[in-house]
Amino acid sequence: MTTQHQQVLVLYLRTSALDSPVVAWAVYDGTGRERHMPGDADKPPYETGLAALQDGWRLIQASPLLDHGVGEEFRTGYLKYEFFFEKLVFDAELAKPPVGVAREDESDA
């Protein structure tokens, strides 16, 4: 029986456009192979939301674009351009190393 696991990527972009730069992010790995903590990396996993799509992540949710009320135009207490992406990973794919990690037999080449 094949089991699938979900990986979730949350990207906060500078604007509502998917090709705008990432300003904050979070990664959740349902496979249990990797653990991520806020602030554990200096660079985002992708430069833009579009780059995540091009790497096979599926967009599952985007924040609604809401008008600000009078006097709220410059409120900075939250990041409003939030995008949720997912990847489904099957058991057979878990034998592969995580992205960016070379296998031991490949690192000697």
End-to-end C-alpha distance for the chain, whole angstroms: 35
Give one word for 71, left, alpha or beta, with left for phi > 0 and alpha for psi -120 to 50: left
CA distance 49 to 67: 22
The pLDDT assigned to 105 comes to 45
Is the overall model pTM greater than 0.85, yes or no?
Answer: no
How far is residue 23 from each of residues 62, 91, 102, measured CA to CA in Å? 15, 32, 28
Tell me: the pLDDT tens digits for 30-77?
888 888 887 788 899 999 999 999 999 999 988 877 777 787 767 666
Give me the number of domains the chain comprises: 1
Task: Please compute the mean of the pLDDT values over residues 1-25 and round it to a whole number.
Answer: 91
Does residue 21 have a pLDDT over 70?
Answer: yes
Tell me: the pLDDT tens digits for 93-107?
666 655 544 444 444
Domain of 74, in residue numbers = 4-107
Which carries the bigger pLDDT value, residue 60 or residue 108?
Answer: 60
pLDDT band at 109 (very low <50, low <70, confident <90, very high): very low
The pLDDT assigned to 106 comes to 45
The pLDDT assigned to 80 comes to 82
CA distance 41 to 25: 10
Give 43's contacts (C-beta < 8 A, 6+ positions apart).
Answer: none
The answer to whether the beta carbons of residues 87 and 56 sit under 8 Å apart is yes
The pLDDT assigned to 43 comes to 93
Return the structure tokens found at 88. 């489904």
